[in-house]
Structure 1
Amino acid sequence: MPTAFSQEINNCVEVLKNGGLILYPTDTVWGIGCDATNKEAVKKVYDLKNREDSKALICLVGNDGMLEKHVENVPDLAYDLIDLSTKPTTIIYDHPKGIAKNLVASDNTLAIRVASDKFCQYLINKFRKPIVSTSANISGQPTPKSFDEISSAILKGVDYVVNLQPEHQNSVPSSIIKLSNDGTVKVIRE
């Protein structure tokens, strides 16, 4: 692993452990991240984005094992969606567990994506906890398609900015699919 890459991972883990916010490249767009199990850190994200905490955020996990640790019952269909999706896909699950309460939607659901890019996977696996992933914009503003479009308010509002280019120049948000435990499947965003 290149030294710069390792250093960025270590810097991020240190900030996350201390309840700070990072700005990092994800498998979709640049994201604001924090420890998804830390209520105070999650509140900082809502504050930075000027967003009500009733609008839930996405959470990234590093692998299926971490997903299973934070969702009471992962429907079998979820594994097919994760394996067969041609683009990053976020799934909304019923009954999350071990996550900051202010990250969970009022209907007791949570949007989780198994990270598909190398940086996020290494970061999450080294941190050993899920991290928040929300677009790097103030609520209501357009999602930045590149680092150059990220506002100075966001850049100044985070504790650490990752100094790496995204692995994928995707710049589109993930698909979002809601999988309920009763078998209902609903596409929220294609």
Structure 2
Amino acid sequence: MAERIRIYEENPNPKAIDRVVSVLRKGGLVIYPTDTVYGLGCDITNSKALERLARLKGVKLEKANWSFICADLSNLSDYVRQIDTPTFKILKRALPGPYTFILPGSNQLPKDFKKRKTVGIRVPDNRISHDLVVGLGHPIVSTSIHDEDDVLEYTTDPDLIYEKWNKHVDMVVDGGYGDNVGSTVIDLSGETPEVIRQGKGDLSIL
């Protein structure tokens, strides 16, 4: 059974954040709030946790399209090849916010992602996810808990989320009701921006 912990976004309790970070560091899978739907994630540097996440989602690790949840843009160069000024301006306009940007991957990607040509970068506008990433010291690899077949409440109500996932993950962070609209996904790895999915983030940032 997963541990459940209540954290308030307006003023996240540092001890509660440390408790979740400790679970992530030990290779745990954690469900936590973002500025869109709840995310399911693990430590980007923990291979066993990544394999577990892949099995849980029914995908091969090398083919999984997951996001790197970052606290801000300061460590972007660790995961992304050098980007041009227009691209950086789009990122600055949009983030933190409900967007996933597909960017060219760098040579310094963690070993489980070395073969990736591109990576999805997210900087959610949410204090809880921000503080978790800062506490961990590097990104959380994350996927949405939303499934196309699910009743929408499963992705928004912490009680129902816990009910559905408590046997599969190590911790569920109850950050209150989530949103039921995913992030807007924009591919910035090519010549011009390409909208892959219109979600919560509007396109005026392009």
TM > 0.5: yes
Mean alpha-carbon deviation: is it higher for 107-116 or for 142-151? Answer: 142-151
Q: Is 1:49 aligned to residue 53 of structure 2? A: no
**Cα drift, residue 140 of structure 1:** 5.4
Equivalent of 1:69, from 78, 82, 100? Answer: 78
Q: How many residues align?
A: 185
**Contact 2:12/2:127, CA 8 A, preserved across alignment:** no
**Contact 1:57/1:103, CA 8 A, preserved across alignment:** no
Q: TM-score, normalised by structure 2?
A: 0.76
**Cα drift, residue 157 of structure 1:** 0.9
| Change in 2 beyond 3 A, CA 1:74/1:112 | same
Mean alpha-carbon deviation: is it higher for 119-128 or for 51-60? Answer: 51-60
Cα distance in structure 2, aligned partners of 1:162 and 1:8: 9
**Unaligned runs of at least 5 residues, structure 2:** 1-7, 199-206
State the partner residue of 1:150.
161
Q: Is 1:35 aligned to residue 43 of structure 2? A: yes
State the partner residue of 2:4.
none
Cα distance in structure 2, aligned partners of 1:141 and 1:52: 21
- Give the superposed CA RMSD: 2.7
Cα distance in structure 2, aligned partners of 1:170 and 1:79: 27
Q: Is 1:184 aligned to residue 192 of structure 2? A: yes
State the partner residue of 1:58.
67
**Cα drift, residue 136 of structure 1:** 1.6
**Contact 1:22/1:32, CA 8 A, preserved across alignment:** yes
Mean alpha-carbon deviation: is it higher for 72-81 or for 1-10? Answer: 1-10
Q: TM-score, normalised by structure 1?
A: 0.82
SS at match of 1:51: coil
Cα distance in structure 1, aligned partners of 2:48 and 2:193: 32
Q: Is 1:94 aligned to residue 113 of structure 2? A: no
Whichever residue aligns with residue 104 of structure 2, its letter is: D
Whichever residue aligns with residue 28 of structure 1, its letter is: T
